[in-house]
Each structure stands twice: as structure tokens, then as C-alpha cells.
Amino acid sequence: MRKPEQISSAGEKNSNNNNKLRKGLWSPEEDDKLMNYMLNNGQGCWSDVARNAGLQRCGKSCRLRWINYLRPDLKRGAFSPQEEELIIHLHSLLGNRWSQIAARLPGRTDNEIKNFWNSTVKKRLKNMTSSSTPSPNTSDSSFELKDNSSNMQEATRGLNIIPCRQLETNAIFSTYNLHDSSPTSIQSNTAALNNHMNLRGPLPAMFDHHGALNNIMFGPNGYNNLNPNINPSSSCMSQEIGVHGGDHGLFFGESGVFSGVNISAEAEIFVPPLESISTTEESYKTDQNSYNNIVNNITGIVNCNNNMIKAENLQGHHGVENFFQTELTAGEWDLDDLMKDVSSFPFLDFQIE
DNA sequence: AATAGACGCAACCGCAGGTGC
DNA sequence: GGCACCTGCGGTTGCGTCTAT
């Protein structure tokens, strides 16, 4: 940690008090000042916050302190196994996009997750990969798929295949298709999957009555990438990879809760972005990068049509308009609350402690 | 008990993107 | 368009604490 009494010699252009800005650890008095100011005035320009709160800190430092430590909605303490699981899964999808991972973990900061990953998970991953001898198949990051049947085998390699009921296919309402199926992308995605399997074991997956691979769970809490405020009372969600014969895309379960990522045999893919917890279709579109990142990761897992993923436009299916008009707000959602219903979630193949 | 090394984590740094003038 | 400034992000640093010897 930094020395608490250190004074930076470098001033900030908008700085106060003769450019003598404190650096290093925050004192309790400084915390009080910042906390009181934020609670009374709310967040504004951080340079103003630093100035008006009487802090000899740069705005950047104030922002960091608030976000990472003082924010009232922060969760303290060690990561729960559920959170850990979720972080691992999200990281396998999102990579080092800590802020996006943090956005899916209520009460946790990107810095916290980053530290957790770098200190704990990364180490464990390293240990596990060094102690295990990966099979040629699983270490091959550029598997070739010859036909649909073998493609299916290949795509589901490493997955626990569990029979499950038919999905609520009549609730399907949207399809998003992939644009990038480059070898590089597939390679990195496959590597991510291999990492996951090395670390956590096979991914749980399920087939529906079509023989379609329907479900890959990301975390025992069944998180998906949508805001559970959509239906806070039944937030048992999953991310799914479906391999259907049809043009099926985005699934909603009986409760109307979005249930995941679906990839059809036509290689149509939809992954819900967290940022699409947005109120307009326009803002939804601006999140295409996030979309693509996740979607690209999925390609490495299931790429069932000779490594070719069709690229089509976002198509309007039933209900998509309602989806965009839904009042969705990012905010407080309690992980424990979300966990309540998980054990009853039909696609789950594990028990919550 | 003393010491060294490993670990955890708060905080800094540099960069990129957005915005307003 | 150029510039200054703000914000947010990911990578990195370095100090306090823990643990093994």
C-alpha cells in the first residue's frame, strides 16, 4: 500500500491548495469528508468533489476511493463460492473486462475482482493446468468440424450431457447472429473453454428432446447477463447454448425470465449483454461490442457448421419490442436473493449449498 | 523469536474515449 | 479540427500482513 502521508509534488490542473495533493492511503478523516460530501451532494464532477469536500486529493483519487471503498452498496468480505464460480465463468466469456464482470456481481468492484482473480484464481488455474495433463483433444484450440454429427460431438466435448425437458420454444423471440468466426477468435475462445474445464471441470450442459444441446450453466447461481430486475422473484437464469434445427434464438422461460445464450444448428447465436439492461433499442445497439465479445467466445465452444457462423442481422421476433421497452434499471440486486430459486431451476444439474 | 518470502489488496499510473469550448 | 478536461478502465506497484522455516 502507499504511504499515507505522501504528498504528490505534481499538481493537477484543477487542483486546489497550491497543487499539494495527497497520495497514498486515505485517512479516516478524509473518508469522512468524502463520504459526507457524497451523501449530501451526490456525485458530480470529481474535481469539484475533491475541491468542495475540502480534500487535498485529485478527483481521480476521490472517485477511486468512493467506488472501491466508500460506496454504501459495497459488499464486504470474502467472495462466496457462488461469486467465485460466477467470476470464473464470466472471465471465461469476457476476459479481463473487470468492470463488466463487476457489473454482474452486485456489491463488488472491478478492482476487487481483478485482485481476486490475479491473486487467487489465476494461481489456482496455473496449478491445475500444470498438474494435469490435458488430452490432445482438449488442448487443441483449433478443432476442425467435419459434419454436423461429429460437429455435435466435438462441440459438446467436455460437457456433461443431461437429458432435459423441452425448452419453452414458443417463448423464443429474438435472434442475434454472429459476425466474427475468425480462426483467431475461435482459437482464443476454445482456449477460454479449455481454461474453464481445467479449472472447473466439464461444463454442465443439457439436451432437449430434439437432441439439441440446450444448456451451459455459468455458475451455480444461474446468473445470466440480464438484470434480474426483469423478474427479481425468479432469477434462476442460465446461459444456454442451444443447437436446434430451426431458427431459434433468444429464449425466455415460463416466468418470462430470459434464460440464455442460444446457438442453433444454423449457428445463430444470441448472448445477452449486461449493458443491454438498457431502456432503448438504441442503447442496446451501442453494446454490440460487448455482444460480439461474448458471442465470439461462444463460437469456440459450439461451432457446428464447418466453422462457419452465419452473420445476419438482429431479427425481430415476438416480444422483442416489449423487451426493449421494459423498465430496466441497473442497481441493487442481492446475490443471496438470486440464489433462492436456483435449486428449483429445471436445468440445473447441481445443488446449492 | 527472528527472518524471509509469499500473499492480499488499496491505490497509483497511463491510456482511451467522450464531451464541451 | 484541435485542445483541454473528465471519466472510466486495465495493468501495475508497493506496503502491511501472514506463513513457513
User: How many angstroms separate the Cα of A17 from the Cα of each of A26, A64, A327?
Assistant: 18, 21, 45
CA angle A97, A99, A102 (to 5 degrees): 110
Question: Cβ of residue A60 near strand B, that is under 7 Å?
Answer: yes
A1 beta carbon to strand B: under 7 Å: yes
Q: What is the pLDDT of residue A50?
A: 86
Whether any strand B atom is under 7 angstroms from the Cβ of A61: the reply reads yes
Q: The dihedral of CA A3, A4, A10, A12: what is its sign?
A: positive
Residue A250 CA, distance from chain mean position:
17
- CA–CA distance, A296 with A179 (Å, rounded to integer): 8
Q: Which residue is nearest to nucleotide B9 (CA to C1')?
A: A115
Give the Å distances, CA to CA, from A331 to A33, A69, A127.
25, 17, 36
* CA dist list (Å): A12 to A4, A27, A33, A259, A326: 19, 21, 20, 48, 43
pTM of the model: 0.49
CA dihedral A278, A284, A286, A288 (to 10 degrees): 130
Task: Note the CA–C1' distance, A65 to C16, in angstroms.
Answer: 19
Nearest to A262 by CA among A317, A196, A336, A337: A317
Q: For strand B, which nucleotides have at least one atom less than 7 Å from a protein CB? A: 7-14
In one-letter notation, the amino acid at residue A39 is L
Instruction: Give the Cα-Cα-Cα angle A318, A264, A292 (nearest 5 degrees).
Output: 85
Per-residue confidence (pLDDT) for residue A330, from 0 to 100: 31
- Contact predicate A94/A293, CB 8 Å: yes
Determine the pLDDT at residue A130: 57
Q: Are A87 and A110 in contact (CB under 8 A)?
A: no
For A54, the grid coordinates are 475540502
Distance in angstroms: CA A51, C1' C8: 20
Q: In which residue are the cell numbers 447477463 written? A: A225
Mention every residue, 6+ apart, whose C-beta is less than 8 A from residue A120: none
pLDDT at A128: 64
Mean pLDDT in consecutive groups of 10 residues from the start of chain A, 353 residues: 40 41 88 89 85 88 90 84 87 86 88 87 66 37 28 30 24 25 38 44 32 30 30 28 27 28 30 37 37 38 29 28 29 39 28 28
pLDDT the model gives residue A94? 86
- Determine the 3-state secondary structure of A101 from DSSP: helix
